[in-house]
Amino acid sequence: MKKVFKRGVMTLSVACVSLILMGTTAVEAKGPLTTEVKTQAVQKTSLTEERINTVLKEAYEKFKDNQEGKNADYIKALAIVDSKMFGITLVTPDGKVYEIGDTKEVVSIQSISKVFTAAKVMQEKGDKFIQEKIGVNATGLPFNSIIAIELHGGSASNPFVNAGAIQSTSWVEAKDSKERWDKIYGNMDDFAGTKLGFNEEVYHSEVNDNKNNQAISKILDARGRMGSDPLEATTVYTKQCSVNVSAHDLGMMAATFANDGVNPKTGKKVLDKKYVPKILAIMATAGLYDNAGDWLYLTGSPAKSGVGGGILAVVPGKLGIGVVSPPLDKFGNSVRGQQAAAYIIDQLGINPLAQ
């Protein structure tokens, strides 16, 4: 059986603490999906177009019928998204696009947005600011944990859990909420190299039901860690989570990181090159939440997931990977998204830690 998110009482056996924090029910699941892909001895392969196309097709065929996992349902609008949707896009730093499946279908970006807002704050305030004000360590606890803040001296620990993400949003320099939102949205457009859509349905579904995140923002405010009004920042954070992305968009956003912060399609420099490794380091540490260690062990690659079912993975200098598939594992990470990305990295022999 799979472990999935459900609102209610939590009974996960891993860490009682984390359960209390998340307010979710865990349904028993089998082991980590990471066992699906057996990492082979990494061969140095050249990334020919033919090889990329072959591996992409194999990944799609291999995992397309896997129905493991379950759509997030604690945000009601996510429960009704087509769980069969499955698209994979690969983009090389020179802007070549390889894709298969439902690569134009969109889901809400959710937590993947945290990467771009943190990048924006880093660009405006520097990497030390992120490290000192928010943190860059793993919490070892679920992404919406409240107790994690208390356990770590009133700190969010990193910008990719909800606490740190709401903080990042609050620290984007802006005179008001509208300017903050416009900058965050425009920054994601720049990473994607296109104007991204907005999912009103998801936004309204979550903004009326985000009391846990409001509570997080208030605690952080009490600890002097917020850059703007906590509830205003939470609302803008909820908006940024409601931006629509396709596998194609995610592939391009990932490729912007793989290409030293320059969008391969538009040529626009979105993030200073010196900050790219910093953001990728946080992705490696906390991009897949409390499963980040297993993921890194398997792939050696920074990645970020969202409960909408999107995932992006970055192989610096080589490849941006975007996958959309809504059913999630117990950590809130797309099951087929992880499988496909891990398979591609493995089969192309591009694990960055094995070069």
Spatial separation of the C-alpha atoms in residues 10 and 93, rounded to whole Å: 43
- Regarding 162 and contact with ligand GLN (CB under 6 A), the answer is yes
- Regarding 332 and contact with ligand GLN (CB under 6 A), the answer is yes
Min separation Cβ 286 and ligand GLN, Å? 11
Site for ligand GLN, residues 212 to 241, rule: CB under 6 A: 213, 241
61, 226 Cβ separation under 8 angstroms: no
- For ligand GLN, the binding residue among 307, 315, 342, 345 (CB under 6 A) is 307
Q: Which is nearer to ligand GLN, 264 or 310 (CB)?
A: 310
- Regarding 259 and contact with ligand GLN (CB under 6 A), the answer is no
Min separation Cβ 332 and ligand GLN, Å? 5
Q: What's the chain's Rg over C-alpha atoms?
A: 18
- For ligand GLN, the binding residue among 143, 171, 331, 343 (CB under 6 A) is 143
303, 313 Cβ separation under 8 angstroms: yes
226, 169 Cβ separation under 8 angstroms: no
- Which token pair is 3? 């472990």
283, 314 Cβ separation under 8 angstroms: yes
* Residue with nearest beta carbon to ligand GLN: 111
Closest to 271 measured CA to CA, from 256, 286, 285: 256
Q: Which is nearer to ligand GLN, 87 or 310 (CB)?
A: 310
Q: Which is nearer to ligand GLN, 60 or 237 (CB)?
A: 237
- Regarding 331 and contact with ligand GLN (CB under 6 A), the answer is no
- For ligand GLN, the binding residue among 251, 306, 327, 349 (CB under 6 A) is 306
296, 312 Cβ separation under 8 angstroms: no
Site for ligand GLN, residues 261 to 300, rule: CB under 6 A: none
Site for ligand GLN, residues 173 to 212, rule: CB under 6 A: 206
Q: Which is nearer to ligand GLN, 63 or 289 (CB)?
A: 289
Q: What is the DSSP string of 240-295?
A: HHTBEEEHHHHHHHHHHHHTTTB-TTT--B-S-GGGHHHHHHHHHHHTTGGGHHHH
Backbone angles phi, psi at 313, to 5 degrees: -135, 145
- For ligand GLN, the binding residue among 89, 92, 144, 235 (CB under 6 A) is 144
Q: What is the DSSP string of 101-163?
A: ESTT-EEE-GGGHHHHHHHHHHHHH-HHHIIIII--S--SS-TT-SHHHHHTTT---STTSHH
Site for ligand GLN, residues 75 to 134, rule: CB under 6 A: 110-111
Please report, as ranges, the residues that interact with ligand GLN according to CB under 6 A: 110-111, 143-144, 162, 206, 213, 241, 306-307, 332
